[in-house]
């Protein structure tokens, strides 16, 4: 019985979860630096970068703040 309920639950939840809108992503790159703090370059002279893909978060609207005392 538990297995049947689990399968029924998964059949109802998975389509809703898979249908959710994908988050917007943004690629962020940072120059690599050595121990001395100088940029690391390759043989051609270009600076090596470390890139990551991060989710873009939307800021919530904020109502007027009361003045601080």
Q: Does residue 14 lie within any of the structural domains?
A: no
Residue 20 pLDDT: 57
Q: What is the 3-class SS of the chain, one letter each residue? A: CHHHHHHHHHHHHHHHHHCCCCCCEEEEEEECECCCCCECECCCCCECEEEEEEECCCCCCCCCCCCCC
Per the structure, the complete domain to which residue 29 belongs is given by 22-56
In a domain, 67, yes or no: no
Note whether residue 1 is domain-resident: no
Task: Look at residue 3 and tell me if it is in a domain.
Answer: no
User: pLDDT 10s digit of each residue in the chain, 69 long?
Assistant: 888 888 888 777 766 555 556 678 889 999 999 999 999 998 898 999 999 998 887 778 877 777 777
In a domain, 7, yes or no: no
Domain count of the chain? Answer: 1
Q: Please state, in angstroms and rounded to a whole number, the distance separating the CA atoms of residues 31 and 49.
A: 4
In a domain, 10, yes or no: no
Query: What pLDDT score does 50 carry?
Result: 92
């Amino acid at each position: 019985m538990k297995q049947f309920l689990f399968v029924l639950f998964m059949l109802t939840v998975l389509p809703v979860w898979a249908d959710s809108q994908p988050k917007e992503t943004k690629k962020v790159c940072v120059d690599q630096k050595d121990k001395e703090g100088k940029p690391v370059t390759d043989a051609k002279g270009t600076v090596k970068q470390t890139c990551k893909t991060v989710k873009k978060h939307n800021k919530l609207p904020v109502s007027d703040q009361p003045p601080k005392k």
